[in-house]
Amino acid sequence: EMKNSEIAVRKNEAISRGVGMTTQVYAAKAENAEVWDVEGRRYIDFAGGIAVLNTGHRHPKVIEAVKKQLDCFTHTCHQVMPYENYVALAERLNKLVPIAGPKKTIFATTGAEAVENAVKIARCATGRSAVIAFTGAFHGRTFMGMALTGKVVPYKVGFGQMMGDVFHVPFPIELHGISVEESLDVLDKLFKADVDPKRVAAIILEPVQGEGGFYEVPRALMKAVRQICDEHGILLIADEVQTGFARTGKLFGMENYDVQPDLMTMAKSLAGGFPLSAVTGRAELMDAPGPGGLGGTYAGNPLAIAASHAVLDVIEEEKLCDRANQLGGRLKQRLEALRADIPQISDIRGPGFMVAVEFAQAGTTKPDADLTNAIRLKALEKGLILLTCGVYGNVIRFLSPITIQDEVFNEALDIIEASIREVVG
């Protein structure tokens, strides 16, 4: 029998501290929305491996699809000996992604790689190099992903000069006093002071900022950004790595807006726990790079592709978009009911089941990260795994599987309420 504390000691010896960890609970097995640690203790999983498990741990259909693929082949490299299910998944995404007209897709392995590839495609298609992102954004830990990420601590500290030609504009958060007008004003000043808009290849944004705090792009900003892109020939990249696959109550977060991106990045819940990412975009853009310019040894691994087909089936068959709206509604209702007693709750928000609660000093919007983390730890003690997020670390986000059973969901709601009440006192 292994003990969490003993593995934790070994972990500290063996693993770089650069890989941050939010728990020291070592996983032994998992099923849908529940995980068990090496000591046999059960937890409800509201982290979902950071937004990967919208269809839950080990969904039977996903496991069945992967087992079937395991018995055929596990790797050939699509660039050497291609396979049909890769083509079929591209066809499916081309149909599903909310971009008008002919589309094409490529596969990669991680979210950061999807972002890298989207930027490469945008640069190649436009012949321009600059990229604009938003403060608070998270786009990955590779060099371009890191440069695009709008948060210095901990993502950029110590890693030296960032990729050139990347600019940040304040993300509008009304709650923290930044309006859409202010964001657009800074963008305008950027075009006057720093970069010719005709040199900008792309503007990248998350429809709902994930790591940044579950803040939705305001409708007015999305519309204005699309107009500015059209005016200057800039491409709009929607990073749907965290918002995708039914989380926001739609298959993609962009479906909550009436504008479309030119390119879209996907990862995480795309393959229900297997490493797979994708870029889908307008066909003529996707075809800009020459043969060999895109790809990778493991890009579009057959096991992950098989899993992804099953994930898309499950989202459809189990109507997970509707379910996300129901669960999100119940969670928000429960949190709203707490507000009368808990003046430290400064905001409850989010489309579909991309729900978050923000904590501040009582009666203000002044972020309280310590209180937020204390609530997370109290919930962990009670058997519920939660994640915080936000530029100020004062947001608890809920990334439960959308397939969670009602009894388990209700149990989690009770733990959330009890944890908040106990910590606030």
Contact footprint for ligand PMP (CB under 6 A) = 50, 110-112, 115, 138-140, 206, 210-211, 239, 241-242, 267
Closest distance of CB 72 from ligand PMP, Å:
26
Residue with tokens 């699309």: 226
User: Which tokens in the block code for residue 258?
Assistant: 């009436």
Nearer to ligand PMP, 97 or 420 (CB): 97
d(CA 209, CA 134) in angstroms, rounded, equals 9
Quote the least distance from Cβ 146 to ligand PMP, whole Å. Answer: 10
Is the CB of 137 or the CB of 371 nearer to ligand PMP? 137
- Other Cβ atoms less than 10 A from the Cβ of 72: the count is 10
Beta carbons of 277 and 267 less than 8 angstroms apart: yes
**Closer of 237 and 345 to ligand PMP (Cβ):** 237
CB of 242 to ligand PMP, least distance (A): 4
Tokens of 230: 């059209």
**Cα(313)–Cα(384) distance, rounded to whole angstroms?**
28
Which residue's CB is nearer to ligand PMP, number 54 or number 110? Answer: 110
Residue with smaller CB distance to ligand PMP, 115 or 311? 115
Closest separation in Å from C-beta 156 to ligand PMP: 15
Whose Cβ is closer to ligand PMP: residue 37's or residue 113's? 113
Closest distance between ligand PMP and the C-beta of residue 372, in Å?
18
- Rounded CA gap, 37 and 45, in Å? 12
Q: How far is the CB of 26 from ligand PMP (least distance, A)?
A: 21
Sign of the dihedral through C-alpha 82, 89, 248, 246:
negative
Q: How far is the CB of 239 from ligand PMP (least distance, A)?
A: 5
Q: Containing H/E element for 28?
A: strand 27-31
Q: How far is the CB of 48 from ligand PMP (least distance, A)?
A: 12
Q: Which of 263, 166, 255, 173 is nearest to 217 (CA)?
A: 173
**What gap in Å lies between CA 370 and CA 361, rounded to an integer?**
10
Site of tokens 């919208």:
54
Give min distance, CB of 139 to ligand PMP, in A.
Answer: 5
Tell me which H or E stretch contains 384.
strand 384-385
For 334-369, the three-class secondary structure string (H helix, E strand, C coil) is: HHHHHCCCCCCEEEEECCCCCEEEEEECCCCCCECH
Q: Indicate the residue among 148 and 413 with the shorter CB distance to ligand PMP.
A: 148
The nearer residue to ligand PMP, 213 or 328, going by C-beta atoms, is 213
Q: Closest separation between CB of residue 253 and ligand PMP, Å?
A: 10
Distances (CA, A) of 276 to 34, 106, 175, 266, 306: 23, 11, 35, 9, 10
The two structure tokens encoding residue 224 = 């204005």
Q: Reading across the β-sheet that carries 384-385, which strands appear in turn?
A: 27-31, 34-37, 42-45, 384-385
Of the pair 197, 281, the CB lying nearest ligand PMP is at 281
Give DSSP secondary structure letters for 97-125: SS--S-EEEEEESSHHHHHHHHHHHHHHH
For residue 203, give every residue at least 6 positions away whose Cβ sits within 8 Å of its Cβ, in sequence order, or none: 131, 132, 133, 225, 228, 229, 234, 235, 236, 237
∠ CA(33), CA(402), CA(338), 5° rounding?
85
Q: Rounded to the nearest whole angstrom, what is the least distance from the CB of residue 110 to ligand PMP in the complex?
A: 4
Query: Which of residues 108 and 423 has its CB atom nearest to ligand PMP in the complex?
Result: 108
207: which 2 tokens?
């429809």
Comparing every residue's Cβ against ligand PMP, the nearest one is 111
Distance separating alpha carbons of residues 137 and 156, to the nearest angstrom: 13
Closest to ligand PMP by CB, 197 vs 351, is 351
